[in-house]
Structure 1
Amino acid sequence: MTDLKQKQSRPHILITGAAGALTQQVINRLRDHCDIVAVDFREQVYLGDSIPSYCIDFNQRSFEDLFRRYKFDGVIHMGRIMSSQLTRMRRYNANVLGTQKLLDLSHKYGIKRVVVLSTFHVYGAVAYNPALIDEEAPLKSAGLSADLIDSVELENLANIYLWRYPDLNITVLRPCNIVGPGVRNSISTLLGSERTPVLAGFSPMMQFIHIDDMADAVVLAYNKTQRGIFNVAPEDWVAYQHALKLCGCKTFPIPSIPPLVPKVLLDTLKLRSFPSYLMAFFKYPVVIDGRAFAREFGFQPRRPLKEIFRYYRDNKKPV
């Protein structure tokens, strides 16, 4: 009888982005005391017999069937499609229209807790960024790159629903560069490469958070009902080219002016790990202030930079 009561009291959580390494870390941290349903827009992922997993478009009618069937208590939305994936229109449909559908269904079915994973890229990289960017700073990326518009619009949607429907208890997380084992984003690929391009004359300050620490941050955010928008980042940062040196990368400079030159070179070399839409982030520092999240959620990263860089130094992959 006790086991039955415990099973009935376990919260039901919908987690999106099941194919991602970070999402799977979050699932592993929650699976012992939560009933999880995992979904992904791109592929179906096997996560064990105890976790139902679906490959489904959020805009399909069948997506609502999951809400009816499982009666979720909470949602962790980590299914943002990166700018390097899919076409711009399909990415917009997934990130913006899909997120809107997810939040509408969350409101319709009485969800009481929503965590949305965003990115520090929404701030944009410009020469006059402040030394530490807090959560009140404007989101400039939409005006700088069409490839980041959907990331900003996803956040704007979450912000609208945060204030329109306070019962959803929405928390938006804006992490710095997430790196570590299994991470397949642009910066992780660059740190793990034997030869890495840099823009001549530029070495901006950067922040890195280990995938283990970021998974802990997501779980902390879900478990404490604190509405709002929070940066997630450690209190240390390092110059990009110095980080590459500590990771054992050999660098080769690319001319940075005029602006068309690096874009043409990168497209010619087909370096997907150094996409032109992120070029400004390799010119100008975007250092975010993570103190509010650390204070509100008691967050303290456990993986120092030297451990992160040692991993990439010991696990080199040729480009």
Structure 2
Amino acid sequence: MPAHKNKQPKPSILITGAAGALAQQVIQRLRETCNLVAVDARVRVELGDQIPSYCIDFNKRTFEDLFRRYQFDTVIHMGRIRSSQLSRMRRYNANVLGTQKLLDLSHKYGIRRVVVLSTYHVYGAMAYNPALIDESAPLKSAGLSADLIDSVELENLASIYLWRYPELNISVLRPCNIVGPSVRNTIAKLLASPLAPVMAGFSPMMQFIHIDDMADAIVLASQKPTRGIFNVAPNDWVAYQRALELCGCTRVPIPSVPPALPRLILRTIGLKRFPAYLMDFFKYPVVIDGRAFENEYGFTPKRSLKEIFRFYRDNKKPL
């Protein structure tokens, strides 16, 4: 029998949030071995002739047309909108209602693997957090900040579908701070800046994962249909002020009270968008336990903290 007769068809994968730096890394890793379709609710991404790309609101009827047309095997959902990007109502529509639509369509069209990217922020930053937070810990952030309600609801939705429709093989990934080249979240901007604010009297332990390692983690998760919720973080952490020092940042102490004062000072030093909920993450530690994901997927980050901080020390940019 000719060899080509035994070739398996390439899996068909829908990737949401395709405009993000992390999604771009995942696409690069999968483009040779999978048939990819890229979607982003904000902008259409140009990915060449081999990868169809769309700018579509998940709540529009045209989104379902993609499921009919491409017959996806897997969905990698990285389309969560951060609090600094849209108004609260538009963010809720995208993150919660859009995710519900995505999961409904995944069930309707027989998707066999769904990976949902969440964030460790759902645990909430509090003075009494345990030293290592595992996946069974309560999600306290919704009670601490209205800006994180939609992130927690997105996770709650994914958990409901995880148990209601086991055939979807849903995994939810909760990464620590994702940093590295091309990452534009708040913590990455601070590490890249010559000046970085610190809360006077506070220097919480933090974890950082390189964008390359996080992309590897998502690809691993997409290829092994283990259902569940997983923290993704290295078994290493560092005090925030020490991280800034290693990145070559000049630390700017700001008082933590009254609440309006830090935001005023941050605007003064040129950081125009600073989500209010992050104030607590610069005061209290949120160190997550990534061993469950490490054990299940054989995952070990390749990029050390030393390498991450060297990149930011060598690539300083004004905010």
Give the TM-score taking structure 1 as reference length: 0.97
Q: Residue 98 of structure 2 corresponds to which residue in structure 1?
A: 98
Q: How does 1:1-319 map to 2 (within 5 A)?
A: 3=4, 6=7, 9-267=9-267, 271-272=271-272, 274-319=274-319
Say which SS state the counterpart of residue 83 (structure 1) adopts: coil
Cα deviation 1:249-294 (Å, max 9, x = unaligned): 0111111123332234335555245432210000000000000000
Aligned residue identity for 1:17 = G
**In 2, distance between residues paired with 1:172 and 1:130?**
21
Say which SS state the counterpart of residue 276 (structure 1) adopts: coil
**In 1, distance between residues paired with 2:98 and 2:6?**
35
Which segment is superposed worse, 227-236 or 247-256? 247-256
Cα deviation 1:140-196 (Å, max 9, x = unaligned): 110001111000000000000000000000000000000000101000000000111
Q: Return closer, same or farther for 1:234/1:94 CA change in 2, 3 Å cut-off.
A: same
**In 2, distance between residues paired with 1:145 and 1:5?**
54
Cα RMSD of the aligned pairs, angstroms, is 1.3
Say which SS state the counterpart of residue 137 (structure 1) adopts: coil
**In 1, distance between residues paired with 2:244 and 2:177?**
14
Say which SS state the counterpart of residue 79 (structure 2) adopts: coil
Q: Shift of the alpha carbon at 1:48?
A: 1.6
Q: Is the 8 A contact 2:129 2:286 kept in 1?
A: yes
Q: Shift of the alpha carbon at 1:318?
A: 1.1
Say which SS state the counterpart of residue 271 (structure 2) adopts: coil
Q: Return closer, same or farther for 1:40/1:2 CA change in 2, 3 Å cut-off.
A: farther
**In 1, distance between residues paired with 2:274 and 2:241?**
14
Say which SS state the counterpart of residue 286 (structure 1) adopts: coil
Aligned residue identity for 1:222 = S
Q: Shift of the alpha carbon at 1:210?
A: 0.2
Cα deviation 1:7-41 (Å, max 9, x = unaligned): x6111000001001110111111111110000001
Aligned residue identity for 2:307 = E
Q: Return closer, same or farther for 1:186/1:273 CA change in 2, 3 Å cut-off.
A: farther
Q: Return closer, same or farther for 1:273/1:311 CA change in 2, 3 Å cut-off.
A: farther
Give the TM-score taking structure 2 as reference length: 0.97
**In 1, distance between residues paired with 2:304 and 2:205?**
16
Say which SS state the counterpart of residue 9 (structure 1) adopts: coil
Q: Shift of the alpha carbon at 1:3?
A: 5.0
Say which SS state the counterpart of residue 230 (structure 2) adopts: strand
- Give the aligned length: 318
**In 1, distance between residues paired with 2:314 and 2:59?**
42
**In 2, distance between residues paired with 1:118 and 1:19?**
17
Say which SS state the counterpart of residue 135 (structure 2) adopts: coil
